[in-house]
Amino acid sequence: MSTIAREPLTALLSRRLRNPAAWITTTDVFFILVALSLPWSTSLVAIFAVAALLSMMPFFDAEAFLRSLQRPVSLLPVALFVLALFGTLWSDAPWGARLYAVGPTAKLLMVPVLFYHFERSTRGLQVFTAFLVSCVVLMAMSWLVAFNPALAFKSPHAYGVPIKNYIDQSQEFALCAVVLAYPIVALFRSARIVPALLLCAIAFGFVANMALVVVSRTTLVTMPVMLAVFAFMHLSWRSRIIVFCATIVLAGMAWVGSSHLRSSVELFSTDYRLYAEQNAATSMGLRFEFWKKSLRFFAEAPLLGHGTGSTKGLFEQAAVGPSGAASAEVIGNPHNQTLNVAVQWGALGVLILYAMWFFHLTLFRGDSLMAWVGLMVVVQNFFTSLFNSHIFDFNEGWMYVLGVGIAGASMLKRAIPDDRRAA
């Protein structure tokens, strides 16, 4: 009896293992788990990403994948990784530092993989929904931690930050809040009031958390740009004026009601003044110092840079002044994506970086949710990379990879004729 009972199960399992659709579903599940874990964990993201790659292997079409690499949107992320790999050959840094510096570019190899997979899958929206749900849970935890810091998952506690750091948290909340503007407008236009109000409440929760609990200064600068892009692309002139006025009113209320927001904004001028007058190692002062020195490093090797992993050694050689002074600080990341690339790989690296941003940006033309998601991911990454190296940072880098790879696959899928897609 047990043998008879096992045979149908064995046959079912065998059919599933030979079914390409079942493997595609399995890969989709792993990418959904990547999106769910991204706001919370680095190790889980790596584990689920590797599992997704392994689940693609049984029915991987190498010929189709190589054809897809001929497109600039696929080739340029790979080119940046390859340049980082070859950049180890002319670097003076220790080999450990060279290989470690290659690591942050490796995630870009997932962009063409995501293009390939999600041109064949229909579950890209579920991956983004999983990320949104995870960020909503993180937002709820942020409110709880603001009232009871002991609930934080890390030590030492940071106000309103249950895990990781406030920069990553702000980037996630800002992206979710702005992306939700598109479906909210679409739902109101189609008279679906209840779901529109629900999404409004979620978006407002993200904005309120950033205004009243914690927000990064990078987000304060870049989020208005993202909202301006939305108003320009999707609203009439009358609606733009209404939204602009409402934004001014809400910003004024947030300014009056949040001492944290006021202090965050006021730190801009305070930090710069302390740096200019006392060479103090303030947040903004350090950025100016890093940028000034990085421009000098770039001028010393403008074509190919100093090589992969060379940045920290260059800052060590350029450090002057007493301990604690801005000019004495040593860092391996100049807090600007362009300069980070320029110091290591020169003008060639900058050319590849900006070409990648450009081709990814032009990929998201059109009026659809996927186009809007991809556009906002690229816009956010570009503007925040003026103040950080967000392509190379873990959270922001993976947000870029997932957003561009999955939303981009949807756009590429639309551009492929049905007969070629079936082939």
Q: pLDDT, tens digit, for every residue of 306-322? A: 999 999 888 888 877 66
- Cβ atoms of 307 and 88 within 8 Å: the answer is yes
d(CA 76, CA 346): 16
Q: Are 304 and 348 in contact (CB under 8 A)?
A: yes
Mean pLDDT along residues 74-81: 96
Of 33, 49, 111, residue with least CA distance to 76? 111
Q: Are 249 and 415 in contact (CB under 8 A)?
A: no
Q: Identify whether the C-beta of residue 307 lies closer than 8 Å to the C-beta of residue 257.
A: no
pLDDT for res 64: 87
Lowest mean pLDDT among 11-20, 104-113, 274-283: 274-283
Mean pLDDT of the chain: 84
pLDDT of 217 > 50? The answer is: yes
Q: What stretches of 385-415 show up as alpha helix (H) in DSSP?
A: 394-415
User: Would you state the structure tokens that stand for residue 296, as one six-digit string?
Assistant: 């000098």
H/E element holding 239? helix 237-257
Q: CB neighbours of 405 closer than 8 A, spacing ≥ 6?
A: 110, 111, 112, 113, 114, 115, 118
- For the record, the structure tokens of 169 come out as 């948290």
Phi, psi of 419 (to 5 degrees): -70, -35
More confident position, 365 or 113:
113
Q: Please compute the mean of the pLDDT values over residues 53-67 and round it to a whole number.
A: 89
Q: Which of 320, 314, 349, 357 is nearest to 333 (CA)?
A: 314
Look at residues 271, 137, 279 and name the one whose alpha carbon lies nearest to residue 206. Answer: 137
pLDDT beyond 70 at 272: no
Q: What is the pLDDT of residue 361?
A: 93
Polymer length of the chain:
423
* pLDDT score, position 335: 86
Q: Of 130, 128, 157, 160, whose CA–CA distance to 144 is shortest?
A: 160
- Which residue has 């054809």 as its token pair? 67
Please say if the pLDDT value at position 268 is more than 60.
no
d(CA 222, CA 42): 25
User: Quick one: tokens of 284?
Assistant: 């903004």
State yes or no: pLDDT of 263 exceeds 80: no
CB-count burial class (<10 Å; 0-12, 13-18, 19+) for 309: buried
Output the pLDDT for position 244: 65
Which amino acid appears at position 24 of this protein? I
Between CA 23 and CA 57 the distance in angstroms is: 9
Higher pLDDT: 26 or 318? It is 26
Above 50 in pLDDT, residue 414?
yes
* For residues 318-337, average pLDDT: 74
Provide the 8-state DSSP code for 163. Answer: S
Rounded mean pLDDT, 28-37:
96
C-beta separation of 373 from 124 below 8 A: no
Count of Cβ atoms closer than 10 Å to residue 13 Cβ: 11
Q: Which two tokens stand for residue 30?
A: 């792993």
Q: What is the mean pLDDT of residues 333-356?
A: 94
35 compared with 260, residue with greater pLDDT:
35
> How sure is the predictor about 276, in pLDDT bands with cuts at 50, 70 and 90?
low
Predicted local distance difference test score (pLDDT) of residue 3 = 47
Scanning 1-120, the segments in alpha helix (DSSP H) are 2-17, 20-37, 43-56, 62-68, 72-86, 95-106, 110-118
The 3-state DSSP class for residue 308 equals: coil
pLDDT for the residue numbered 293: 87
Q: Which of 81-90, 232-241, 414-423 has the highest mean pLDDT?
A: 81-90
Q: How far is CA 423 from CA 27, 61, 64, 66, in A?
A: 21, 12, 10, 15
Under the banding of pLDDT at 50, 70 and 90, the label for residue 423 is very low
d(CA 300, CA 366): 43
Provide the terminal-to-terminal Cα distance of the chain, rounded to the nearest Å: 45
Paired residues of 280 in beta bridges: 325
Burial 385-414 (b: 16+ CB within 10 A, else e): bbbbbbbbbbbbbbbbbbbbbbbbbbbbbe
Torsion sign across C-alpha atoms 391, 395, 396, 400: positive
**CA-to-CA dists, residue 314 to 195, 258, 273, 373, angstroms:** 54, 41, 26, 38
| pLDDT score of 98 | 93
